[in-house]
Structure 1
């Protein structure tokens, strides 16, 4: 029986397969001189060159067009060309489906360059494009590296519910889940499927906290949903979050873990996805940093230095000083107690700190969530955000409030319903300990790693306001 291999396997161990008969399957990406085919099966950005046998009939060869899916049996030979080390000299070809040229010309798969916006219009086909193939392979390896990181750190992977009664953050719009007829005037939710109002989750954090208080270190990695009308290049309505929670962890330990996770993932991708990164490096616009540097240089630069750490109060002082000294105009007024806007974050990380990743800690209690531990000053909480250049906030986290009475007061001060959070309050009565955690926006991280300008281009099927196509 002839062994089937992926193109990635053949190219990786090319010389090992010399003079062997093998079977490969894939899609034709290009043709040259009616003799050479470039075949790809999605396993790598690189194509395998197929040399057609002179014994194939002309009628058969006419069916071999760009986009056609085929099975090829042939002998691996050393290539004379400079672009590949091996090639496959075909002895038998089976056509699974031929694609007429006139049909191919209507799609983004025709052999010419398309804008990212044009490719997005045919999201159901973009998996077959070079650039999206690179992004998805990098996304896959990033996901694996995150699981690997936490496994090696002795974390337990848990699955938190997607359907919930709590918005976790204490603010924000959520998608409602119901089996009731919403056209009724008076809806009795006690008759609904869950006998109460339920929503799609915006975070698995609260449930992860509960698990951490019994298992020590846990993480969840899954989809979350927000119904906010944020139609920007950094927002999705359905996105993926990585949320670790650690018992006996204080804020400093939490910050260290977050930075270490980011650097571990970047290094893993540099080690395992260089072909895909190199393609993106050559085919996307240069990344500006005191002149122009490439995507690869950007990633290596992030690994080179420790992240810059600064308090929220220091940030406000810097922004005010910069505004006065350099006559900078910000759209949003700067004052202590404000929620930092994207323009402030981008100025800090891209200009003031010269594209160093930035960790901002100790935010005011008034703009943060009820579960964050209140500092001794009574005004700030043990919180932290990590900002990456060009992206902004990628991680938000905190040390959690472990004191029952303080947590109860926070819930009241934020005007939340303690009846819905009775189970969360209960965890502070049975063996509560100092604990911390954070949430990492996985899609934004993929956006940073690939250099893509729009977050819609790093997730298979983006869900955004007024768009749920495909």
Structure 2
């Protein structure tokens, strides 16, 4: 008999049939009712055991966390909370679970405790729902780009460049750490290293993606990136995943169109495919909100936030206009913002971004034409000489979700910007070549995948939306 999943059995209308299923025990009540879950759905299936038909020693092994194989008859449920249940005819314990030491007991656990047991935390409802949503979002990303004519590109993980110019990278080396070869001035001689030069883990695949866009037209990357930023906030990871499309012959307006359409598409996908997981996470979030002071509670539920993005047109506003709005806003005038907006050129914080989205425009917002001195060197300089064709997409509850720009395609201007920021032309000779051989307008954006998963699940800490978080002083598992 072929085994079915819990999701398959709960979706069937046909009862009074023999079925086979394998999964992990969530609870075993009164030596009669087994709640079984196999990860295919947030819901358990109830397996009803007649104690007299089974060996007592066998039933003692049916403990929380044990893996079992059940066969029996699928019948209409006599109890509340489920439509069908299995009347057990045979039961086999595939893998025992020590009830004294198994950490994921049927009770509420703190997220801190579950991070310490990250190898088992997906056996809880919250984390199984989060990771199913993460999987669905991943599929939706590839689906969107595939259906829109993009080529998927695998950019290097080991690189000799620092795309952002931030300098916060993880060095890659196989030199003897205790006795590295030295130059005459005492510095490390990286010419004797494995790659013959100083290399690091990538902070972005964007620059390499640009090279492929200028021959394949439309490409995207979706891979791991690394930042050696010593930050322990709820929004920072040292290893995370980035989605970065790049498109030739596309200007900033086209970039905004693409990003808006993309975000609506992937979020629509999970509204359709992950309804039960979203409903569970929404209830979890509502219960969590009740414990907060009234002033800190969200005005929208989880599903309402997602629909807020899917159903509304994104408002496009220049940075200059946004600064005027913020300067004259009540929170700014009454000094309710933690960071008071005083003049043009300020780097906007999450509180400002959320005010624009949630209070002022009441829809997702795309800010564009930012001051050049707070944006990256590769963004196209506007004719005013002080702003660049950058854009950020702002969402409710989280602030910035997407950052992108029209790229600087003019060789002379790009060289001047690199010189001013002390970025080596020698290191990025290949990037400059794009501006020598068939240069053209092109654009792209970046989206931190974990930030998208946070938004879609309502989780408050980025460590809880990636299987095994890498943060300062933490590389467990």
Match of 2:344 in 1: 336
| Residue 10 of structure 1: aligned partner | 9
Q: Spell out, residue by residue over 1:405-434, the C-alpha distance to the aligned partner (whole angstroms, 9 max, x if none).
A: 221222112211000110011111111111
Residue-pair matches, total: 463
Task: Work out the CA distance in 1 between the residues paired with 2:312 and 2:250.
Answer: 24
Matches of 1:228 and 1:458, distance apart in 2: 19
Mapped to 1, the partners of 2:229 and 2:60 lie a distance apart of 52
Pairs within 5 Å for 1:69-80: 69-80=67-78
Q: Does 1:239 align with 2:240?
A: yes
1:49-88 Cα distance to aligned partner (Å, 9 max, x none)? 1122441122221121111111112222222223222212
* Alignment match, 1:280: 281
How far 1:191 sits from its partner (Å)?
A: 0.6
Q: Is the 8 A contact 1:319 1:334 kept in 2?
A: no
Q: How far 1:291 sits from its partner (Å)?
A: 6.6
With normalisation by structure 1, the TM-score equals 0.94
Matched, 1:28 2:50: no
Aligned equivalent of 1:348: 356
Query: What is residue 221 of structure 1 aligned with on the other side?
Result: 222
Aligned to 2:183: none
Structure 2: distance between partners of 1:32 and 1:324: 57
Q: Secondary structure at the match of 2:118?
A: coil
Q: Which residue of 2 aligns with 1:169?
A: 164
- Provide, for residues 60-117 of structure 1, a one-character-per-residue CA deviation record: whole Å limited to 9, x for no partner: 211211111111122222222232222122221111222232223xx1x111112222
Q: Distance in 2 between matches of 1:164 and 1:397?
A: 21
CA distance in 1, matches of 2:81, 2:297: 34
User: 1:394·1:445 contact (CA, 8 Å) conserved in 2?
Assistant: yes
Is 1:462 the counterpart of 2:450 in the alignment?
Answer: no
Q: Contact 2:133–2:274 at 8 Å: present in 1 too? A: yes
**CA shift at 1:290, angstroms?**
8.6
Contact persistence 2:327–2:341 (CA under 8 A) = no
Alpha-carbon distance in structure 1 between the residues aligned to 2:283 and 2:376: 42
- Say if 2:447 is the partner of 1:440: yes
Give unpaired runs (5+ residues) of structure 1: none
Give the match for residue 97 of structure 2: 99
TM-score under structure 2 length normalisation: 0.93
Preserved CA contact (<8 Å) 2:351 2:399: no
Paired residue for 1:83, among 65, 81, 84? 81
Q: Post-superposition shift, 1:353?
A: 3.6
- Distance (Å, rounded) in 2 between the aligned partners of 1:152 and 1:468: 37
* 1:61-460 pair list within 5 angstroms: 61-104=59-102, 107=103, 109-183=104-178, 184=180, 186-284=187-285, 285-286=288-289, 292-322=299-329, 325-331=333-339, 334-354=342-362, 356-460=363-467
**Residues 386, 396 of structure 1: 8 Å contact kept:** yes
2-side partners of 1:350 and 1:397: how far apart? 22
Contact 2:380 2:409 survives alignment (8 Å): yes
User: Partners in 2 of 1:326 and 1:352 — Cα distance?
Assistant: 16
Distance 1:291 1:365 in 2: 34
Q: Hey, what's the Cα distance between the residues in 2 that align with 1:165 and 1:374?
A: 26
Q: Deviations over 1:342-394 (max 9, x none)?
A: 3433443344444x322110011112111111111111111101121221211
Whether contact under 8 Å (2:28, 2:62) holds in the other structure is: no
Which secondary structure state, in structure 1, belongs to the residue aligned with residue 16 of structure 2? coil
Q: SS at the partner of 1:10?
A: helix
